[in-house]
Every structure is written in structure tokens, then in C-alpha cells.
Chain A
Amino acid sequence: MDDSPAPSLTHVHPQGFWRKHVFSLDHKVIGKQYLDLALVAVVTGMVLSWLMRFHLAFPRAAVPGLGAIAPNAAPGGMISPELYLSLMTMHGTIMVFFVLTTAPFAGFGNYILPIQVGAEDMAFPRFNMMSFWVTFVAFVVLIAAFLVEGGAPLSGWTAYAPLSAVGKDAGPGQGAGQTLWAISIAIFCVGQLLGSLNFIATTLDLRTKGMTLMRMPFSTWAWFITSVIGLIAFSVLLPACILLILDRVAGTSFFVPAGLVISDRLQPHAGGSPLLWQHLFWFFGHPEVYIAILPGFGIVSHILPAFARKPLLGPKVVLACMAAIGFLSYTVWGHHMFLSGMNPLSATLFSVPTLIITIPATIVTLLWIGTIYGARLRFTTSALFCLGFVSVFVSGGISGFFLAQPSIDTYLHGTYFVVGHFHFVMGVASMFGIFAGVYFWFPKMYGRMMNETLGKIHFTLTLVGVYCIFMPMHYLGLAGNVRRYSEFTDDYMKGALPLHRFITFAALFTGAVQLIFLFNLVWSRLRGAKAPDNPWQATSVEWSIPSPPPVDNFGGPPPVVYNGPNEYGVAGPTGDYLMQADPSGSGKGA
């Protein structure tokens, strides 16, 4: 790659509103579209979670106004058990697919990756546009599930068969709503496959002169590894969803065995296996956790040195660990199924790689903490979210140590301990990565600075809020409080109600705090101070170009890269850093 000529992709200046802003081929517009979609999705998902939390804390209270919106599912504003499960299913699906996959991977990846490698655009701009619009259609189809007869599905984001496979006999929402869910996810898979292919091709083929693999920024490495994971994971979920749709509408029996009596009706299926769905789903589902979190690894590894003013400790080890995590993510899916009835011997086999994956995760965490040692940390909002990422990742990662062991999972599986664990490690940590990315790259994307005071208030209250929400869930799980219950009736879990109320207040508070972020986002886009080209004194290529970048990214031929991305704490022409495109560095960090 080193000696090849710089790629010369002719970037056509778009003409007209539709080509410029809607069906754009420009990776920057598509990246923003993904981020805007994720913003709509995260607000939707969060509102759904508020309704759930409200009901859990006050099961006998009506939600003001809900009765008018959903008169059947919530008569008089009272959330029915089936509506609770629909809210839960849609919350999980929206958050995992349309927020945690789209924002850190498709959103930032689309905008930043081509610039960081010195390309004018993605390798396949039309596929790129298609990937966004396919994802958009998937989102619309999913939301439509709320509007069809029976309402949204209630089988959870994992859609376990046969509950998800036998149609409306299995309950309200399991008719048209569940079919739309399966169609939506199948469409989503197509979008992500197109996106992953594009990321891989762009990274391998469109790097500019001098941008060797080892000079790629950590964020680009993370998006590249994530796209490889995504290519395999979504290629498995897509056919799984198609088989599920066939079971539902074409009378096949991939996931439904013989002899089931549901709603007093002997089901017309025979020969299928519910465990087959679980295997296919989790073969996607566990790597999906890393699709959500690895971009966060990359973003933190990329941003932290810029604010620590020193190079990331052990950059090659960090890359090796990210690659190891990507590989190992395909060997651990069975840990979601320890108690599923699969051969108990296989549980021990799935447990070992699950525990082993903690080794690279621990090493990366130590390297981040080691990077902070002796640094000159600049506490921008972005830096704070990186530090917060490390904290919540440690908290969520450590509780995984319990669940990776079948002998402990036999007690904690299906409890709030699991909910607390995955929200910390996959949800909150990823969100902190997203926030770090937004505060870091916003000036580049919109040419204006975000308000740092508002950002710091947002960070501080969010950090406290998420710990108040998710740490107590571990206590609930230890006490045997099971998840996915719409209320805790007169049973042993009733004593947990005060803690549930505390979590609900914390969730409403933390949600309200996000309004500060939304305000900052809108206000800064319109009124923020003008951003210089390189406000953070960072090294990678995106900071060598104007803010916002011109349509062809570089306003001329792509830059030639001379240095690695980790050149902080060195004497450079403009300070204690050396930009990747700065020829005076004479090939550092190759």
C-alpha cells in the first residue's frame, strides 16, 4: 500500500436538494443521516423505557395521556401486561439495532473512516446510500408494529421460538406485529451487510499514500474489525429471520416442534427445534455485543491520547486485543444458553472462551489506565466521557465474570443481575463512547464548537445517573428478582419495590439530563463558536482539513501520510504533537 499511488476517486459535486441532502452519495451526509436516525431511535427507546420503569415502580398508577394514545393496550392509561412486554421488546430492539449498531459503527464510521484513511469517499457510494435507506426502511417497518392489529410483539428482542414463530395464538402482538419485527430485522441485516462490505473495501483499498495498516488510527481499526464481525454476524441473522418469517407465514417448521398446544389449539407444525433459533440468534447476538462496544474501544483509544497529551500505551497490544476480542466473540455464544437444555457439557466449553475474553479486555483497560498515568489530562467533555467509558466498562465487565460461569449463572440467569450487566457493558459504555465521539467530532462535522459547560454538566449528571440505575440492578439480581416481569405481585419480589422505585426515579432523572445534551446539540449547531480546523490539537487526518470538510474531503488530492496516529508528547511544528500528514515528522509510528 505504501508505494501505491494515492486513490483518485472523482467526487461528483451533488446538484439539487434531493441528491445533496436526502439520497446523497456523500459518506459525510450518510454518516450524519445514520446519527440522526440513531438520535430519533434513542429518544424513542428511552421514552419506552420510561413507561416501563414508571409501571414497575407504580403498577397501579395510570400514565397521564397514555390512555388516549393507546386506548386498547393501556385502558385509562394503565399499562397492561402485554403492553409492558411490547414496550420492553421494542426498547431492546430499537436500542440494540438502531442505536448501538447504527451510531458508533455506521454513523461515526461512515463520516470519519474515509477521511481518516485519506479517501474521498467510501469504496461503493451507492451501496453506502442504499445501506442507510434500507436501515431507515427497517426502522419504519419496526415502528409500524405499534400500529397493526394486536400491537407490537412481546417476545423480547431475542424473539425466542416458538413464542415468536407460531403467530397470534401465542398472544397479542404475536400476529402481524411479530411478523413486522422479523421483516424489519431482516431488512436491517441487509443494510448492515452493505455497510460492512463498504467499510472493509474502503479500509483495505482506498488508503492514501503512506497510510499503512499500522498507521491507521485506532478508531478506524475498530470500525474495520467491527465490520468484519458484522459481515459474519448479520449473514447468519438474515437467514435466521427469513426462516422465522417462513415459519410464521408459509407453514414451515424450522423452529417449532410437533405436539404443541397453544391457545387450546394443536399447532400444525412438526420437526423444528426452538434451540436452533437460539443458536442462530446468539451466534449473531454475542458478536453484536462487540459490534456495539468495539467502536467505543476504538473511539476511546483514539481520543484519550489527544486529551492525555501522551501516546496510547501499547498501541500494537491494543490492536491485537481488539482483534482477539473480535475472534473470540464467535466462540462464546452458548453462554447465553447454559440453561437452555443444550448438552450441559457444552456449557463448560462455552464458559472457558467467555472467561478468556476477559484477558484482552482487562489488558486494554489497564493500558487505558496506564495511558492516564503521567499524562497532562485536558478535561474536555469528550475526555470525561472517555474516562467514564473506562469506569462503566470495568463495572459492567466485572459482573460478566459471574455470568460466564455456568454454576453461578444457574442462579443469576434471568434476573436483574443480567440486565444490570449488559446495560453497563453494552449500553452505557457504548453510549459513553458515542457521547465522547459526538463531543470530539462535532466541531469537524458542523464547523462549530459544542458548549463545554453544558457538556460537563451533562457528563457529571449522566455518570451519577447511570450508576444509580444499573448498579442497584445487580443487588436485585442477587436477591433473585427476575427480569421481564411487568409487575411484582404478592410474592417474594415485592420487597424489592423500593429499590425499583429508586431506579425509576434515577432513570427519569438521567433521561431528563439528556435534554441538556439535546439542547447543546441543537444550539451549538446553530450558534456554537466557529470551530478551527484542529481544536483539540489531534493528529489524525480529519484534523488536517477544514471544519466542516469540503465535499471531496480534502479540497484537492488526498493528503500523503507520514506519521502514525499516536504521536503525542513529541516536539512538532505546532506543539507537543505531530500530525499524520505532517512531512516534518519523517515517518514516525510507521
Chain B
Amino acid sequence: MGKLFAVLVAVITLISAGVFISRIWWLPPDISVLGVGIDHQLMETMVASGVLFVVSQLVLAAFVWQFGDRGDGRAIKTFPGGVTPMVVFATVLVSAEILVLSFVGTKVWGGIFMSPPNPNALHIDVQAEQFAYYFRYPGPDGKLGATHPELIDDGNSNFFGLDPANDTAVRDDIVSASLVIPVDQPILLTMHSKDVGHAFYVPDLRIQQDFVPGLVIPLQFTATKVAKKEIVCTQLCGLGHYNMRGYLEVQSKEDYQKWMADQVAQQ
């Protein structure tokens, strides 16, 4: 029975690791500046933990294979070197890994969430609601006007609660159901929710951020490839959660200018 266990664990380990290595199911190609660092960090962790996973499972399997009770009355043996080297080995190995990963990872994390606002970023206001995203661009005046929750009226497409009658800054604001952005342009999203918690997740950009009711949360990124990708919600928001999505359209600078001009013309 011990040998069966050992074989099962070894086979499960090798198949599990093999599927990771073959990348049958893997991350989609990265289309962002920040994704490079995230992918690097993930790969480094994958290699380190993959080796630990395979080695520890195979050692477990080998010991179980080897040290079954064969009824021969053989003496038990203690682990060579005893406890201290093992504790020191585990502590040093894991600590070193933690230090390296934390040092590099903090830089990557800081690059995503702790960088100062880029003055050249295109600022887009995002509102999440059950079960859609709306994106608001400052119009030709370059200003985003104030929002008023009590004025929200989805029936009249006033998703943000804008007050064009009294607020000149909002009159030229452009509201879109898709996030259309120019390629290689730093983007600053200010994210807020109309109702409950939501999230913004684009696997191709490698970023994810919650919308938290009552907070306005900044998120910066730069897309590096022209593409059309899905934005999905990863924070449980109600019965339509599975169907809450928007689209990210990364366009060439020319196409983006044309799109923006069309939007302005439609105002």
C-alpha cells in the first residue's frame, strides 16, 4: 500500500508539474508596461516553488516507498544530522527566497500602485455599477465636472449623476461604455462605485483593482499593443456578477484621435 501511495504521489506530482511546464493553460500575452515586471516575478516564484513542490513530493514518495514496515524487525533510524540542520536549512532557504521575492516584488508593486501620478497621463473617470462599467473622459475643456449621486438616472443615461444645467465643466464630458485608449499612453483611472463593491480586471494588462463604495481609487497603467480585450468584474456584486463586463479598446494614436473627435461631434 505504501508503494502504491508513493507511485500515486510521484505520478500526480509529475503530471501536475508537466502541465505547468507545457503551458497548456497559461497567462494571455502581456500588453502592458507593468506586466513585464509582474510576469518576471511570477516566473521567478513559479520556478522556486515548482522546484520545492516537486522535490518535497518526490522525497515524501521515496521515503514512503522505502520505509514501509516489512515485518523484519529492522531497527528504526533517525534522520541524518537530526533536527537542527533541518531547521536551519528550512529557515535560511525560505528566508532567502522571501527576501529576494519581497525586495523585487515590492518594486513591482510600488510601480503599479505607489508611483506618483504621471502628469502626462490621460485621466479617465470610471464608475462601476450592477452590472456595467461607464467611462467618462474630460471633453475639450480638459476638466471632469462634479458628480451627484442623487442625480443618477440610468433611464436618461445620466450614469454619473452629472448636473449640466449648473456645472459647465460636465457639459462636454464624454461618457462611453467601453474604455477606449491610445496605445503607449499613460492612463490614470479614478475608480468609484455607484452601488456595491466591484472590480476592474484585465488579465492581459495583468492588473486588478477593487471599486470600493465611498472611495475614489486611482489606477495607472500603459497599454503597449493595439488590442480589444475584456474587462471583467472579480468582486462579487450580485446576481448579474457573471455577466458584468466592459471592453478595453487599445487603439493607435490616430484611431483614438478619430474616435475622440467623433465623440465630441456627437455631443
Comparing A115-123, A483-491, A521-529, the segment that makes contact with chain B is: A483-491
Interface residues of chain A, those whose CB is within 8 Å of chain B, are 80-82, 84-85, 154-156, 160, 162-163, 166, 170-172, 174, 256-262, 264, 266, 272-275, 308-310, 313-314, 317, 339-341, 344-345, 347-348, 351-352, 355-356, 358-359, 362-363, 365-367, 369-379, 384, 387-388, 390-391, 394-395, 398-399, 401-402, 405-408, 410-411, 413-415, 456, 460, 463-464, 467, 471-472, 474-476, 478-480, 482-489, 491-492, 496, 499, 569
- Which of A264, A313, A405 interacts with B154 by CB under 8 Å? A264
Q: How far is the CB of B118 from chain A (nearest CB, A)?
A: 16
* A81-B239, A479-B25 known; A347 vs B109 contact (CB < 8 Å): yes
B240 within 8 A of partner (CB): yes
Residue contact A345 to B207, C-beta cutoff 8 Å: no
Residue contact A413 to B208, C-beta cutoff 8 Å: yes
- What residues of A have a CB within 8 angstroms of the CB of B245 in the complex? 491
19 contacts between A and B (CB under 8 A): A160-B196, A163-B237, A260-B196, A261-B149, A261-B161, A272-B214, A275-B212, A314-B87, A365-B56, A369-B59, A376-B76, A377-B68, A384-B1, A387-B64, A405-B109, A407-B106, A408-B38, A456-B1, A475-B19
Residue of B nearest to A318 (CB): B83
* A352-B98, A372-B60 known; A367 vs B194 contact (CB < 8 Å): no
Residue contact A373 to B67, C-beta cutoff 8 Å: yes
Mask: chain B, 80-111; 1 = CB below 8 Å from A; 0 = not: 00110011011101110010011001101110
Residue contact A487 to B242, C-beta cutoff 8 Å: yes
B28 within 8 A of partner (CB): yes
B152 within 8 A of partner (CB): yes
Residue of B nearest to A266 (CB): B150
Q: How far is the CB of A344 from chain B (nearest CB, A)?
A: 4
Mask: chain B, 149-169; 1 = CB below 8 Å from A; 0 = not: 110101000000100000000
Highest count of chain B CB atoms <10 Å: which of A365, A411, A499: A411
- What residues of B have a CB within 8 angstroms of the CB of A80 in the complex? 239
Q: How far is the CB of B106 from chain A (nearest CB, A)?
A: 5
- Which of A84, A160, A460 interacts with B4 by CB under 8 Å? A460
Count of chain B residues with a beta carbon within 8 Å of a chain A beta carbon = 102
Residue contact A492 to B28, C-beta cutoff 8 Å: yes
Q: How far is the CB of A456 from chain B (nearest CB, A)?
A: 6
Residue contact A85 to B241, C-beta cutoff 8 Å: yes
Residue contact A408 to B105, C-beta cutoff 8 Å: yes
* A339-B199, A401-B45, A413-B234 known; A406 vs B105 contact (CB < 8 Å): yes
Residue contact A82 to B106, C-beta cutoff 8 Å: no
Q: How far is the CB of A383 from chain B (nearest CB, A)?
A: 9
Residue contact B67 to A478, C-beta cutoff 8 Å: no
- Which of B109, B239, B240 interacts with A406 by CB under 8 Å? B109
User: 5 smallest A-B Cβ distances: which pairs?
Assistant: A374-B77, A257-B214, A414-B234, A480-B203, A344-B113
Q: How far is the CB of A90 from chain B (nearest CB, A)?
A: 14
- What residues of A have a CB within 8 angstroms of the CB of B98 in the complex? 352, 355-356, 358-359
A156 to B78, CA, bound (A): 47
Residue contact B38 to A155, C-beta cutoff 8 Å: no
- Which of A85, A348, A358, A474 interacts with B94 by CB under 8 Å? A358
A314 to B63, CA, bound (A): 18
Residue contact A486 to B242, C-beta cutoff 8 Å: yes
Residue contact A260 to B12, C-beta cutoff 8 Å: no
Residue of A nearest to B107 (CB): A407
A344 to B209, CA, bound (A): 11
Q: How far is the CB of A288 from chain B (nearest CB, A)?
A: 19
Residue contact A398 to B5, C-beta cutoff 8 Å: no
B31 within 8 A of partner (CB): no
- What residues of B have a CB within 8 angstroms of the CB of A483 in the complex? 234
Residue contact B49 to A366, C-beta cutoff 8 Å: no
* A359-B91, A378-B69 known; A492 vs B105 contact (CB < 8 Å): no
- Which of A162, A274, A367, A482 interacts with B234 by CB under 8 Å? A482
- Which of A81, A162, A401 interacts with B197 by CB under 8 Å? A162
- Which of B46, B70, B89, B196 interacts with A163 by CB under 8 Å? B196
A464 to B211, CA, bound (A): 39
* A163-B237, A378-B69, A467-B12 known; A478 vs B25 contact (CB < 8 Å): yes
B181 within 8 A of partner (CB): no
- What residues of A have a CB within 8 angstroms of the CB of B161 in the complex? 261
Residue contact A394 to B53, C-beta cutoff 8 Å: yes
Residue of A nearest to B89 (CB): A366
A262 to B245, CA, bound (A): 18
Mask: chain B, 223-251; 1 = CB below 8 Å from A; 0 = not: 00000011011111111111101000000
B2 within 8 A of partner (CB): yes
Residue contact B109 to A309, C-beta cutoff 8 Å: no
Residue contact B196 to A262, C-beta cutoff 8 Å: yes
Residue contact A391 to B25, C-beta cutoff 8 Å: no
- What residues of A have a CB within 8 angstroms of the CB of B195 in the complex? 162, 170, 260-262
A410 to B203, CA, bound (A): 10
- What residues of B have a CB within 8 angstroms of the CB of A372 in the complex? 60, 63-64, 67
